[in-house]
């Protein structure tokens, strides 16, 4: 790592739309070869910082300076609907303009780096979520950038994929900035942390591993609280003395005035304690009441094995209040299977009539991006038992950190993490009898995950879930497991 500065933010202010300030006079630097984690609450503006670095956005004031001799590439969070229709070769050709033989060479190297084997004529939409995550990373690597920006790169990856990515980043010689909520992943390779404070709209810069930084922040907050408590005690004691001396008259009033000046000095010494990210409120997902004793039956299911569809027999009866975990490596067909279950098109699986299905899809494509948050929540409430009120809707929205301003925002303008919170709010309002969840931890701030796990653990309807995050799954009651690999 050299001392050369490759990224420099100086007093950068950025507003997204009318009076929605994201950054306020932010300053930080990144040196060549550093591996830096960019942390912050959902919707704080982490992806905005990436777009300012790439030049896709321009600040209202301040300077964003990126070494002009260096190239920058971003591995985005999701593949767009348009990109999903492309072949693998066309997908890569979009991001790098080289001769055909050079393109083939680079594709081979990039896919090798992310541990993915792919037919170049295969359509992107035919890959699993985990495989698409690897394609996104490969699309950044194929550009051979000097500065690599990774936006939630572990989403949809299984344990093998995350392990491979960790090793790759530890040995990668160039500059890397990573947005991630996966603490263990970040701690393996980071040299420092840029923490975007959603309240101050400032970036705090720290040196060290992720866990070092967490401990440093904790120690600093405790120190600030102790100092403020000491100042508050001194202020209170002096205020009591001021009241006493002020009523004595004569020279005592002069003493009281000097003590007021002392109180003002103490007030000025008090520090603004760094606020922690807000966590969503505890919630429950109500279960549909009028469901039959058998909610779903599965007689067979189809998986992908060595590029071929294989149908396997099964004998699964899912009744009320039963939780099923679907397991298997990336590419075996978990998402395809549970999506077909959710849509009622799965061969060999049948949902009993009258059962309301709540489906949390990992890419949020079930949301109408042209809707405002309010419209989306109204739609979910109307699809439930119809007993909801506007007051209830707004109470649910508030619990998921949706402010009066955010609730008027169109879904397309939300961060991926905020879309996830909207999706959970919709499930609460819908009150499904069958809850189907595909990677529900993706994009979600790690502070929210224990609250979400508790809600799923106590859900009294029927649940089918796919998740690669073992720590999250361990907090949820699982009654049976369908391992697609066995």
What does the alpha-carbon distance between residue 104 and residue 308 come to, in Å, rounded to a whole number?
25
The CA dihedral of 474, 475, 479, 480, to the nearest 10 degrees, is -30
Q: Are strands 61-66 and 294-305 parallel, antiparallel or unpaired?
A: unpaired
Structure tokens at 224: 């600030």
Q: Single out the residue of 220, 216, 277, 345 nearest to residue 43, CA to CA.
A: 277
- Same domain membership, residue 172 and residue 59: yes
Cα 194 to chain centroid, rounded = 16
Per-10-residue mean pLDDT of the chain, 486 residues long, equals: 87 78 90 90 83 93 94 88 91 91 91 87 86 89 92 80 84 90 80 84 84 78 78 75 67 70 66 64 94 92 81 90 91 87 89 95 90 96 87 95 90 90 96 95 85 96 92 93 86
327 forms beta bridges with 483
| Residue 145 confidence (pLDDT) | 92
- Same domain membership, residue 302 and residue 161: no
- Same domain membership, residue 300 and residue 182: no
Which of 176, 197, 213 represents a domain boundary (last residue)?
213
- Same domain membership, residue 208 and residue 348: no
- Same domain membership, residue 299 and residue 400: yes
- Same domain membership, residue 299 and residue 206: no
Q: Does the residue 33 lie in any domain?
A: yes
| Residue 263 confidence (pLDDT) | 67
Q: Does the residue 97 lie in any domain?
A: yes
Q: Does the residue 345 lie in any domain?
A: yes
- Same domain membership, residue 152 and residue 52: yes
Q: Does the residue 263 lie in any domain?
A: no
Q: Single out the residue of 368, 394, 377, 390 nearest to residue 430, CA to CA.
A: 377
| Residue 80 confidence (pLDDT) | 84
Crossing angle of helices 210-246 and 251-269, rounded to 10°: 170
Cα 169 to chain centroid, rounded = 20
- Same domain membership, residue 300 and residue 444: yes
Q: Which helix (H) or strand (E) holds 36?
A: strand 35-40
Which of 197, 213, 229 represents a domain boundary (last residue)?
213
What does the alpha-carbon distance between residue 80 and residue 107 come to, in Å, rounded to a whole number?
20
Q: Single out the residue of 364, 300, 299, 307 nearest to residue 332, CA to CA.
A: 307
Residue bearing tokens 């170049």: 120
Q: How many structural domains is the chain composed of?
A: 2
CA distances to 326, 377, 477 from 481, rounded to whole Å, are 6, 32, 11
Structural domain span for residue 22: 5-213
- Same domain membership, residue 314 and residue 192: no
Which of 161, 182, 213 represents a domain boundary (last residue)?
213
- Same domain membership, residue 176 and residue 318: no
- Same domain membership, residue 63 and residue 184: yes
| Residue 322 confidence (pLDDT) | 96
Q: Does the residue 219 lie in any domain?
A: no
| Residue 466 confidence (pLDDT) | 93
CA distances to 14, 53, 56, 119, 213 from 19, rounded to whole Å, are 10, 22, 20, 48, 32
Structure tokens at 195: 């923490």
What does the alpha-carbon distance between residue 344 and residue 61 come to, in Å, rounded to a whole number?
52
pTM value is 0.68
CATH number for position 307: 3.40.50.300
Q: Does the residue 305 lie in any domain?
A: yes
Question: Which contacts (CB < 8 Å, 24+ apart) does range 52-55 have?
Answer: 52/9, 52/12, 52/14, 53/7, 53/147, 53/149, 53/177, 54/149
Q: Does the residue 126 lie in any domain?
A: yes
Q: Does the residue 274 lie in any domain?
A: no
Cα 433 to chain centroid, rounded = 27
- Same domain membership, residue 177 and residue 85: yes
Q: Single out the residue of 121, 166, 118 nearest to residue 330, CA to CA.
A: 118
| Residue 270 confidence (pLDDT) | 58
CA distances to 93, 95, 111, 140, 168 from 104, rounded to whole Å, are 10, 13, 11, 15, 21
- SS3 category, 207: strand
């Amino acid at each position: 790592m050299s001392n050369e500065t490759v990224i420099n933010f100086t007093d950068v202010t950025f507003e997204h739309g009318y009076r929605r300030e994201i950054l306020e006079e932010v300053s930080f630097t990144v040196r060549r070869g550093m591996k830096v984690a960019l942390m912050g609450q959902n919707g704080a503006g982490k992806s905005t910082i990436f777009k300012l670095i790439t030049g896709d956005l321009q600040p209202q004031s301040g300077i964003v300076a990126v070494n002009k001799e260096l190239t920058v590439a971003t591995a985005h969070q999701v593949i767009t609907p348009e990109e999903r229709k492309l072949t693998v070769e066309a997908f890569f050709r979009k991001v790098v303009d080289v001769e055909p033989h050079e393109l083939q060479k680079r594709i081979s190297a990039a896919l090798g780096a992310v541990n993915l084997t792919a037919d170049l004529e295969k359509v992107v939409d035919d890959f699993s979520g985990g495989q698409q995550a690897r394609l996104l990373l490969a699309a950044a690597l194929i550009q051979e950038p000097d500065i690599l920006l990774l936006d939630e790169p572990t989403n949809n990856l299984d344990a093998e994929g995350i392990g491979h990515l960790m090793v790759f980043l530890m040995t990668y010689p160039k500059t890397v900035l990573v947005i991630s909520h996966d603490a263990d992943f970040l701690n393996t390779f980071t040299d420092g942390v840029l923490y975007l404070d959603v309240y101050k709209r400032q970036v705090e810069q720290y040196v060290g591993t992720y866990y070092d930084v967490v401990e440093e922040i904790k120690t600093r907050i405790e120190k600030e609280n102790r100092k403020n408590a000491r100042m508050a005690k001194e202020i209170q004691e002096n205020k009591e003395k001021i009241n006493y001396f002020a009523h004595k008259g004569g020279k005592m009033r002069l003493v009281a005035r000097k003590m007021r000046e002392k109180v003002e000095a103490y007030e000025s010494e008090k520090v603004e304690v760094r606020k922690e990210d807000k966590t969503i409120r505890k919630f429950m997902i109500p279960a549909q009441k009028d469901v039959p004793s058998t909610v779903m039956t599965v007689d067979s299911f189809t998986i992908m094995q060595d590029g071929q569809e294989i149908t396997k027999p099964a004998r699964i009866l899912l009744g009320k209040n039963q939780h099923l975990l679907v397991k298997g490596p990336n590419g075996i067909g978990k998402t395809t299977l549970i999506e077909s279950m959710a849509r009622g098109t799965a061969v060999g699986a049948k949902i009993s009539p009258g059962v309301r299905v709540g489906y949390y899809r990992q890419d949020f494509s079930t949301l109408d991006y042209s809707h405002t948050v309010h419209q989306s929540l109204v739609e979910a409430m109307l699809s439930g038992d119809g007993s909801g009120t506007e007051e209830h809707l707004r109470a649910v929205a508030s619990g998921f950190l949706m402010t009066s301003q955010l609730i008027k925002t169109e879904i397309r303008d939300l961060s991926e993490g905020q879309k996830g919170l909207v999706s959970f709010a919709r499930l609460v309002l819908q009150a499904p009898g069958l809850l189907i969840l595909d990677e529900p931890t993706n994009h979600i701030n790690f502070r929210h995950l224990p609250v979400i796990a508790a809600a799923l653990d106590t859900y009294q309807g029927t649940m089918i879930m796919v998740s690669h995050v073992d720590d999250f799954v361990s907090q949820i009651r699982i009654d049976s497991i369908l391992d697609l690999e066995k």
